[in-house]
Structure 1
Amino acid sequence: MQFNIYNLKLTMSRSDLGEKEMLRRIGVLVVDDSPTKRGIICSMINSQPDMGVVGEAVSGEDAMRKCWGVNPDVITMDIKMPGIDGLEATKRIMTERPTPILIVSSTAKVQVKFTLEAIKLGALDFVGVVSDLEKMKEDLLKKIRIASKVKVVRYIEPKKSLERTKIFKSKASPYKVIAVGVSTGGPAALLSSLSKIPQDFPATIIIVQHIVEGFSRGLAEWLDSQCSIKVKEAEDRDFLSPGLALIAPAGNNLLVSSTQTIKLKSIPPDALYKPSIDEMMTSCARVYGPLAVGIILTGMGQDGVEGIKAIKKAGGLTLAQDKDSSAIFGMPKLAIESGYIDKVVALESLPSEIMSLF
């Protein structure tokens, strides 16, 4: 875990809190060129006893200067700004001074695309700007707390690879479906894994990514543009076919029916995890039994533990991401501790591990 200690006189006096409480506060740099939006975000953060705004920036250039000056634990980043925009600022910060970055963006299609490009450049996660400010506040504060505990890594420009073709040489394999559960740090982990899977992969990949409404279709389209395998947002009655990766739509739990098609059902308002990894994996275990593979990737919480257990008890294979390559070693850790994981795998080794099964 990475923590930065700074002088909180930037935002408060020592008479406001005891020294131990001050040192525990999460320092946030808020970057947005809109005074109104910036004010709303700052107000949300400053309303909490365990965090506070240590600086505000109105452009990418300003963000980079402030990042070095105030030494924040977490940065909230707008995308569209004058001069250096949020994408370039994210890239430079993650290259020169890695710091957990949360993109705060609208759910408009073009903004979702830019947000996911920022994830590719090293941003950790995103927060949707929605009309329900209480809902936005809950999401923002939760993700700031998670981000403050993340092990960040320096962004390295990837080498350009040759376009992939149909190169899969399948052996006789017992597996028909790969069920993947992921949360915080998911988009980058999914890109890292799916981009190395060929388009003629002989099984269906089903993915549940904890995500806010408005982003799941953009995530699927972004991954599809970066990968050889076909990636799409799942729809009701979609057939599970080889060479297809399906992303559960935000706002719906995804189940596999006995006819090997997708069944979507609404998520209860009080559900803790949205969508549910457990429900998806349990349905895969029920329909496919020993023909299913369950994989738990980076994320916070215990969603997926019951699903992994169901797949393992049905005779399937189970994998979990290792600690060193996880942005948040929460879900994988609990899955491993359950005793139902067959193998722990580093993210960079996951594609070859999957391919070796076929």
Structure 2
Amino acid sequence: MIKVMIVDDSPFIRRIFKNIVEHDKELTVIATAKDGQDALEKIQENRPDVITLDIDMPVKNGLETLKEIMKMEKPIPTIMVSALDNRETVMKALDLGAFDFIPKTEQFPSTDTSSLSNTLIPKIKAAAQIEPKIPSYDIKPISPIKDKISKKDLKSKFPIVAIGTSSGGPKALKAILPVIPADFPAAILIVQHMPAGFTKSFADRLNQESAIKVKEAAEGDIIQPGLALLAPGDYHMQIDKDGRVRLDQTPTVWGVRPCVDHLFKSLAKNFKDRVIGIIMTGMGKDGAEGMKAVKKHGGYGIVESEETALVYGMPGAAIKANAYDEILPLHQIPEQLIKLIERRLQ
């Protein structure tokens, strides 16, 4: 039985969350708290397996509380609950070691809680399987590579790196994109499972920390070397044969939108052996079918190893499907990516 603590200053939301959690036979609510200070006191008494933590609270807010939780000898996996206008605070919480987050929309919570339940329950179960820690990676700086490659066909035949990730992805992406050199001769496309309203803030944050340009993808954007495009929340992203971004809101796949499989399959179909697919930490099995398509059309597949992946659902699914060439710890992926691209362009 997974023991859950619910922390929110709203009695109504505490009750809604409690009803959703206890509707699942594998979960139980061991305690609720009205603010961060109340939560920290009750953690000592009850020792939950997972915490849902509201950000906006009196006495001690969610971010302050999370800092205290992460200082504990055994930090507790924590899922943040945030209003849409708290995007930057959510990003800070993920930096501090929060497992994931759930957004409060204008309709949150509505009388129909099925959508919230479908989001909350899998995240709680996934969080219960991990040991949270403040992200720390030994990533080697990568030197400029413009003098190491041939410029032959670079404009029309540049490699395309496609990255798919979910829970734990924001931290993993921050271990990769900021170390990629400014003269990176490949296009980068990213699907990070993240709700609408948060992907632009995340892309802007990555852009500030990276030498390459990172932006939230828009309809009609053209892929190009040195540019990383992040799929917007609530939109599937595909790339057409002319290298233009195509966004749509067709039904969710594996319960998510954007879907990694959609992106990878479109790239495999249109760009074949130019594609390098990377599947990193995340819940579920999104990306495995897409990586199979990448491999089938002559592309290359890298999967993050279990030793560094916060959640091994997506990487594990790709491995089970035999859809990979290499399994690497996160800190080795950037350097190997450079080596692959250098070989392709020489």
TM-score grouping bracket, smaller chain normalisation: 0.7 to 0.9
- 1:264 maps to which residue? 247
RMSD (Å) for aligned C-alpha atoms = 2.4
Name the stretch that deviates more: 174-183 or 96-105.
174-183
From the superposition, tell whether residues 157 and 186 of structure 1 become closer, same or farther in structure 2 (CA, over 3 Å).
Answer: closer
Contact 2:253 2:259 in 1 (8 A): no
Task: Tell me what 1:59 maps to.
Answer: 35
Residue 224 of structure 1 is matched in structure 2 by 207
Query: Is 1:245 the counterpart of 2:245 in the alignment?
Result: no
SS state of the match for residue 179, structure 2? coil
Tell me how far 1:155 sits from its aligned partner: 2.2
The offset of 1:157, in angstroms, is 7.8
Q: What residue number does 2:92 align with?
A: 117
Task: Show the counterpart of 2:52.
Answer: 76
Q: Displacement of 1:85 after TM fit?
A: 2.4
Give 1:270 deviation, angstroms. Answer: 7.0
Does the CA contact (< 8 Å) of 2:137 and 2:331 recur in 1? no
Q: Is the 8 A contact 2:142 2:335 kept in 1?
A: no
Q: 1:145 aligns with which of 107, 125, 130?
A: 125
Per the alignment, residue 303 of structure 2 pairs with 320
Which of 229, 233, 243 pairs up with 2:216?
233
Displacement of 1:171 after TM fit? 2.9
| Cα offset, 1:316, TM superposition | 1.4
Change (3 A) 1:267 1:218: farther
Match of 1:105 among 82, 85, 89: 82
Query: Is the aligned partner of 1:334 residue 2:314?
Result: no
Instruction: Verify: 1:129 aligned to 2:90, yes or no.
Output: no
* Counterpart position of 1:155: 134
**Structure 1 residues 92 and 120, CA gap change in structure 2 (3 angstroms):** same
Question: Cα–Cα, structure 1 residues 156 and 213, in superposed 2: closer, same or farther, change >3 Å?
Answer: closer
Is 1:214 matched up with 2:191?
A: no
Structure 2 residue 312 is matched with structure 1 residue 354: no
1:271 positional shift:
5.7
- Asked whether the equivalents of residues 276 and 303 of structure 1 are also in contact (C-alpha less than 8 Å), the reply is yes
Helix, strand or coil for the counterpart of 2:164?
strand
Between stretches 137-146 and 316-325, larger displacement belongs to 137-146
Aligned to 2:3, what secondary structure does the other structure show? Answer: strand
Letter in 2 for 1:146: A
In structure 2, what residue type is equivalent to 1:75?
I
> Relative to 1, partners in 2 of residues 1:196 and 1:73: Cα closer, same or farther, differing over 3 Å?
same
Task: Give 2:3's aligned residue.
Answer: 27
Contact 2:84 2:197 in 1 (8 A): yes
Partner of 1:306: 289
CA distance in 1, matches of 2:94, 2:218: 25
Residue of structure 2 equivalent to 1:39: 15
- TM-score, length of structure 2 as denominator length: 0.87
Q: Which residue in 2 is equivalent to 1:8?
A: none
Compare 111-120 and 220-229 and name the one that shifted more: 220-229
Give the unaligned 5+ runs of structure 2: 151-156
Q: Which stretch shows the higher mean deviation, 82-91 or 248-257?
A: 82-91
Q: What is aligned with 1:7?
A: none
Give the corresponding residue for 1:293.
276
Which residue in the other structure is 2:153 paired with? Answer: none
Separation in 1, partners of 2:147, 2:17: 51
Query: Which amino acid is 1:263 matched to?
Result: R
Question: C-alpha separation between the residues in 1 aligned to 2:255 and 2:325?
Answer: 27
Deviations 1:56-75 (A, max 9, x none): 22332322222222111101
Give the whole-Å Cα distance in 2 for the aligned partners of 1:157 and 1:187: 13
1:281–1:40 CA distance, 2 compared to 1 (3 A): same
Please state whether the residue corresponding to 2:278 is helix, strand or coil: strand
Q: Supply the distance in 2 between the matched residues of 1:182 and 1:256 (Cα, whole angstroms).
A: 18
Q: Which amino acid aligns with 2:62?
A: G
Q: d(CA) in 1 for partners of 2:252 and 2:305? A: 32
Closer/same/farther in 2, CA of residues 63 and 168 from structure 1, 3 Å limit: farther
Residue 175 of structure 1 deviates from its aligned partner by 5.2
**Secondary structure at 1:188 match in 2:** helix
Instruction: Give the Cα–Cα distance (whole angstroms) in 1 for the partners of residues 328 and 142 of structure 2.
Output: 26
Please give the secondary structure, in 2, of the residue aligned with 1:294.
Answer: strand
TM-score w.r.t. structure 1 length? 0.84
Superposition deviation, residue 293 in structure 1? 0.3
Partners of 2:253 and 2:303 in 1: CA distance: 27
The secondary structure found in structure 2 opposite 1:195 is helix
Unaligned runs of 5+ in 1: 1-24
Is the Cα–Cα contact under 8 Å of residues 95 and 134 in structure 2 kept in the other structure? no
State how far apart, in whole Å, the 2-side matches of 1:71 and 1:339 are.
39
Secondary structure of the 2:228 match is: strand
Amino acid at match of 1:106: A
Once the two structures are TM-superposed, the CA of residue 232 in structure 1 deviates from its matched residue by 1.1
